[in-house]
Amino acid sequence: MDSINQLLKPVTARVNSAGNLEIGGCDIVKLAEKYSTPLYVLDEATIRAVCSDYKKAFEAYPKVNMMFASKALCTMATSKLLHDEGFGFDVVSAGEIYTVYKAGVDMSKVLFNGNNKSLDELSLAIELNVGRISVDNFFELSLLNEVARSHNKVVDILLRITPGIECHTHKYIQTGHLDSKFGFDLTQTDDAVELILNEYSNLHLRGLHAHIGSQIFETSVYGDAIEILIKELARLDKKFGLKLDEINAGGGLGVKYTDDDCPPSVYAVADIIINRLNDCIKKYKIEPPSLFIEPGRSIISTAGVTLYTVGSSKQVPKGRKYVAIDGGMADNPRPSVYQAKYIAEIANKKEFSSLNTVTIAGRFCESGDILIKDINLPELEEGDILCVYNTGAYNYSMASNYNRVQKLAMVLVNNSQSDMIVKRETLDDLISHDEIPDRLKS
């Protein structure tokens, strides 16, 4: 069965009677006029549809908990929407903790993750009653126990382990241990457990957490990760008498950025996870644990598009034609950082007779600020609106103020209604934290 992460465009994308691109019942050209560009646009129907995919795909396992990996996109509005869909949240900073808290999220359904959490962040997590903290290393075990004791609380934790599996897009590696900054190597698990049982009385170990990569297309890796987690639960029970009842298998499912991408469906991944989990429960003779899944990109990416206005152009003699837009690497650093590829369309030129090959260049003072190389588009003119697809994940999250340019606004569209959920930064916002020392004022 197909799922939303396998689509290039939001589920509501279509050409309307005016000949313009439409998403969420909203004319893209009119959105650009109303809110200005560059502009992030999120389609609510697509978000809810992919949430439905996940819930249906995993309903065969009775003890499953859906968590959204907030690093993909964290705003109060998206947090509220996903909370209403029944999702918990995997968070990695005080900022993400505070955002979901202010959005009214049930904090018992929040997991705090990360490899170098600060004392202040751990204190905030405990004060706001975050449900789980995934502990990444020995230093954090000691620090968290001290913070928990100072708050007179016992904190539920998971141990994040490095399962010997790594999967990045098409590359799948399985080794005894991996060179990774995240988690305990499996050879270190016993030492961590002994510290928790014998010294760290303010920590309550509930289970194990493993994350295997991002933009994953290889499905078998999920089954292998499940087996490693269950085997380790059984081993710890046998050695320490621990009845751990939770496993977190991470997320990482890929999405379709271009026609060349073929990510697996949510349903295919769920079948592999559930079947392997049930097999391992019997094989290792343990009670069925609660299963936590934490997708991020595959929940939010397809729902998002970014709108730009076309500006100047340059034809290199006997070379490329560059067409510049009013945004670029500051609002979408992924092409510059990861050589990520995207597709785009002109929102106001759906009827055309021919295509031209152009390269879409950003407006920032970097030669590497190229959004899309060699894309076929209609003849572009100043003022045309470019719509770049699949920008819901890691665009806003990784955005910067490079060249002292303001960060973008974001709107949520649904049923022909648009609502601003992130305001565009102003010039005064840019300088709001600047200070001039008194000695420079004379």
Backbone dihedral angles phi then psi of residue 43, each to the nearest 5 degrees: -95, 110
Rg over alpha carbons for the chain, rounded to the nearest Å, is 24
The span from the CA of 252 to the CA of 213, in Å, is: 6
Beta bridge partners of 162: 185
**H-assigned helices in 241-344:** 266-284, 297-300, 334-338
The single-letter code of the amino acid at 442 is S
Secondary structure class of 361 (helix, strand, coil) = strand
Name the phi and psi angles at 229, rounded to 5: -65, -45
In 285-323, alpha helices (H) = 297-300
Q: How many CB atoms lie within 10 A of CB 250?
A: 26
Question: With the C-alpha atoms ordered 273, 276, 278, 281, is the resulting torsion angle positive or negative?
Answer: negative
Strands (E) located in 70-185: 88-91, 110-112, 132-135, 155-162, 165-168, 171-174, 184-185
Cα–Cα distance measured from residue 427 to residue 338, given in angstroms and rounded to the nearest whole number: 29
Q: Is beta strand 171-174 parallel, antiparallel or unpaired with respect to 165-168? A: antiparallel
Residue 167 designated active-site:
no
CA angle 400, 22, 392 (to 5 degrees): 30
Closest to 164 in 3D by CA, of 73, 237, 250, 225: 225
Cα 197 to Cα 314: distance, rounded to the nearest angstrom = 66
Which residue intervals of 22-118 are DSSP H helices? 28-35, 44-57, 76-84, 94-102
Kindly report whether the peptide bond that precedes residue 38 is cis, defined as omega within 30 degrees of 0: yes
Catalytic residue, from 51, 167, 280, 365: name it: 365
Query: Rounded CA gap, 408 and 40, in Å?
Result: 7
Give catalytic residue positions. Answer: 365
